[in-house]
């Protein structure tokens, strides 16, 4: 019963210029043609430490590297 309402909300948010100003871009690939929202659970990985969003596919590819660290967490650490 809620699914149709949720879908209408998703369609609105992903197409509304005001809502798009609140989007995020992948912290790994920085693709500005693919805005991310935290409600896109099937598409997005959110860093547990800083909350940065990335595509799940980008995160899954990068986390295989031994030296991978969240880019936003690293920027925050450098500023401290």
Decide: 44 and 50 in contact? Cβ < 8 Å.
Answer: no
Whole-number pLDDT of residue 4: 84
pLDDT band at 39 (very low <50, low <70, confident <90, very high): confident
The answer to pTM > 0.85 is no
- Domain total for the chain? 1
What count of other Cβ atoms lies within 10 Å of the Cβ of residue 41? 10
Mean pLDDT confidence for 27-45: 93
Task: Using the predicted structure, report yes or no on whether residue 1 has a pLDDT greater than 80.
Answer: no
Closest CA to 15 of 38, 47, 37, 48: 37
- What is the 3-state composition of the chain as percent helix, strand, coil, each rounded to the nearest 5? 40, 10, 50
Q: Which domain holds residue 71?
A: 3-79
């Amino acid at each position: 019963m809620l699914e149709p309402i949720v879908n209408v909300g998703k369609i609105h948010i992903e197409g509304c210029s005001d809502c798009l100003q609140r989007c995020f871009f992948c912290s790994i690939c920085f693709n500005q043609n693919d805005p991310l929202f935290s409600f896109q659970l099937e598409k997005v990985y959110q860093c547990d430490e800083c909350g940065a969003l990335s595509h799940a596919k980008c995160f899954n590819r990068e986390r295989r590297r031994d030296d991978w660290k969240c880019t936003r967490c690293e920027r925050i650490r450098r500023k401290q």
